[in-house]
């Protein structure tokens, strides 16, 4: 399988706190808007939302690849392969292996047909064309194995063994991408869930601060209650971080090599985020951002104890 991480544009959010017009922002209506905008700025347009979009884009690409390999496989299956007699096998084409001109033309079972089928399915995907500077034959070799191209250019026709190998390699590519789509979908669901949880914690944080600002009598007691509430939010954040770290530590993704049935493991999260504009660890990044704000709040609220 060939990995093509999607890179998307990142919207930079301004998180400045020293804005003018503070008096207007303290009205009940403005406070409600400020809470909503704060969540959107920190989370929805921030780290986690960017990661969700990146994952969705990558999933679309993987689905397109899976469908393309299915199309390629279907076209190979419908060909009647050529059974060569030992004394009829042609000489290898050597350095002509990147060309697509066969020396024989037994119907569709030719090198030209296989390469064209690959060109019009897998290689027609925009991210394949833009991501690699390689010939058609090189792309086929990278995607399904150099031995496939060697067999085709040696015999110039599609023999039964080569056809069967092509079908099996294509099926393997389909299976790997199907599993990857499921893994990405699981990650998207996890990101959405964490985003909702962090939005809830952000709302609670804002409500605690708003409550303290609204109390004028017994302010010391109110400050202590708010401090305890903020401490509970920090505890919840710690649990989220620990759960996410456990998930990150157990994230292998099976990737079949093109030229054999051997399977190696790659890290799903490196695959998804290493070349993306989203943070390498979007949930932990958002947790850290919110945790820093809560910690600052606790320090500020504790000043009311004296």
Q: Where are the chain's structural domains?
A: 22-66+181-304
What pLDDT is attached to residue 138? 86
- Using the predicted structure, report yes or no on whether residue 101 has a pLDDT greater than 50: no
First vs last C-alpha separation in the chain: 63
Our CA dihedral for 69, 73, 75, 81, rounded to 10 degrees, sits at: 150
The Cα 54–Cα 86 span in angstroms is: 53
pLDDT for the residue 87: 52
Q: Record the tokens describing residue 286, joined without a space.
A: 């958002």
* Tokens encoding 146: 């150099």
How much is the average pLDDT of 241-267?
74
Task: Please tell me the distance from the alpha carbon of residue 169 to that of residue 67, in angstroms, as a whole number.
Answer: 14
Q: Are 297 and 223 in contact (CB under 8 A)?
A: no
**The predicted structure's pLDDT at residue 234:** 95
Give, as one character, the DSSP assignment of residue 90: P
Residue 14 has pLDDT above 70, yes or no: no
Q: How far apart are CA 114 and CA 163, in angstroms?
A: 10
Give pLDDT, residue 112: 87
CA–CA separation, 21 vs 292, rounded Å?
25
Q: Does residue 113 have a pLDDT over 70?
A: yes
pLDDT over 90 at 63, yes or no: yes
Once rounded to an integer, what is the mean pLDDT over residues 11-30? 32
CA distance 265 to 73: 25
Largest CA distance in the chain: 103
Q: What is the pLDDT of residue 160?
A: 92
More confident residue, 219 or 48: 48
Residue pair 64/181 in contact (Cβ under 8 Å)? The answer is: no
> Residue 225 corresponds to which tokens in the numbers above?
């209650």
- 10 Å CB burial of residue 19 (0-12, 13-18, 19+) is exposed
Bridge partners of 263, per DSSP, are: 256
**Which residue in this structure is represented by tokens 């194995």?**
145
- Name the least confident of 82-91, 100-109, 114-123, 195-204: 100-109
3-class state of residue 254 by DSSP: strand
Confidence tier at 99 by pLDDT (50, 70, 90) = very low
Partners of 304 in the beta sheet? none
Q: Is the distance from CB of 73 to CB of 170 less than 8 angstroms?
A: yes
| 24 has a pLDDT exceeding 50 | no
| 19 or 127: which leads in pLDDT | 127
pTM exceeds 0.85, yes or no? no
């Amino acid at each position: 399988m060939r990995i093509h991480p999607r890179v998307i544009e990142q919207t930079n959010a301004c998180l400045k706190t020293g804005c003018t017009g503070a008096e207007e922002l303290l009205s009940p209506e403005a406070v409600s808007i400020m809470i909503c905008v704060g969540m959107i700025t920190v989370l929805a347009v921030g780290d986690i939302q960017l990661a969700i979009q990146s994952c969705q884009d990558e999933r679309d690409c993987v689905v397109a690849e899976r469908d393309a390999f299915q199309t390629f496989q279907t076209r190979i299956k419908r060909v009647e392969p050529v059974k060569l007699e030992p004394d009829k096998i042609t000489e290898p084409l050597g350095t002509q292996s990147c060309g697509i001109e066969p020396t024989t033309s037994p119907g569709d079972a030719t090198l030209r047909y296989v390469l064209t089928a690959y060109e019009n399915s897998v290689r027609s995907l925009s991210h394949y064309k833009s991501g690699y500077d390689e010939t058609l034959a090189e792309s086929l070799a990278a995607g399904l194995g150099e031995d496939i191209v060697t067999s085709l250019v040696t015999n110039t026709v599609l023999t039964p063994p080569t056809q069967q190998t092509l079908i099996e390699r294509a099926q393997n590519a389909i299976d790997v991408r199907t599993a990857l789509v499921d893994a990405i979908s699981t990650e998207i669901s996890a990101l959405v869930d964490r985003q909702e949880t962090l939005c809830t914690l952000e709302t609670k944080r804002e409500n605690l601060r708003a409550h303290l600002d609204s109390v004028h009598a017994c302010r010391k007691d109110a400050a202590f209650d708010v401090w305890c509430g903020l401490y509970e939010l920090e505890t919840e954040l710690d649990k989220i971080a620990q759960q996410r770290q456990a998930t990150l530590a157990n994230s292998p993704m099976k990737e079949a090599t093109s030229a054999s049935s051997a399977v190696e493991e790659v890290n799903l999260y490196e695959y998804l985020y290493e070349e993306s504009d989203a943070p390498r660890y979007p949930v932990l990044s958002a947790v850290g951002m919110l945790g820093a704000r809560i910690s600052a709040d606790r320090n500020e609220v504790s000043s009311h104890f004296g």
